[in-house]
Amino acid sequence: MQITKPASIYCALILVSCILLTGLYGLLVQSRTFSAQQWSSHSLDLHHRSLNGMLTPQQQDMLSAEALDAMNKAVYRDPYNPNYWVRLVVMNKGNEQNMLRNSEAMGIAKLLKPDIILHHDQYIVPLNPARQKISE
């Protein structure tokens, strides 16, 4: 049972090309999970920098807002990761304006990880040096 027509080879070539493209996609395009990891680590770095006492309160607020924004992007990309939600809550703790969003984020984190305990040190560990290049 042998098919010696070149059509079968051409079909196989198309299939292998598809697998090759899939492999290249996996290699070159960041997965959403990986992208979320990058945003999360960037957010932690910004948060860490915002705690620097040498900065003015305005600079600290600006860095905190940037850190929160980056963490929101991480959560957007990987919404089923409870750690990101907890980090969001911890970063947003002193913000009175976002109380409602904070309680919502905590509720989601509790759903994803029922035995969660808010240890600040456990979730907010900055990476050093800060990552500068983040791809969308």
Partner 1 sequence: MHKTFYDSAVYFYVCLLIGSCFAAFYPDASDSMMAFVGVLWSLLVFGMLLWMLERLHYHNKFTYKLGKKRLPEHLLDKMKRQKVYSKGMRSLKSFSVVNWFLLVSLLIFFIWGLWVTHSPNMPESLYALNDRILYYFKSFENFDRDSYRFFSFMDVSVRNILPLFIVALAYWAGQVFAYSNRNGHIIMWLCISLFVISLLLFVLYYTPVYNTFNLGVWGGYGWGRIDVLKALGVISSASQSSLQVRLYTLGLPGVFFLYLPALVVALIFIRNMFTKSTDRYKITLGLVILCVLFCIDAFYADDTAAFALWLSGWSCIAFLSIRGRTDVRKIYRIYQ
Measured CA to CA, the distance from residue 33 to residue 40 in angstroms comes to 10
Whichever of 49 and 113 has its CB closer to partner 1, that residue is 113
In the region spanning residues 94 to 113, those forming contacts with partner 1, defined by CB under 8 A, are 101, 104-105, 107-108, 111-113
CB neighbour burial string for 9-19, b if at least 16 within 10 angstroms, e if fewer: eeeeeeeeeee
Measured CA to CA, the distance from residue 90 to residue 135 in angstroms comes to 25
Whichever of 11 and 125 has its CB closer to partner 1, that residue is 11
The number of residues making up the chain comes to 136
Q: In the bound complex, what is the minimum distance in angstroms from residue 57's beta carbon to partner 1? A: 26
CA angle 94, 100, 103 (to 5 degrees): 75
Structure tokens at 76: 């957007």
Binding region for partner 1 (CB under 8 A) out of 6-14, 38-46, 48-56, 117-125: 6-14
- Contact with partner 1 (CB under 8 A): which of 51, 52, 61, 76? 76
Site residues (vs partner 1, CB under 8 A):
1-4, 6, 8-10, 12-13, 15-17, 19-20, 22-27, 29, 31-34, 72, 76, 78-80, 82, 101, 104-105, 107-108, 111-114
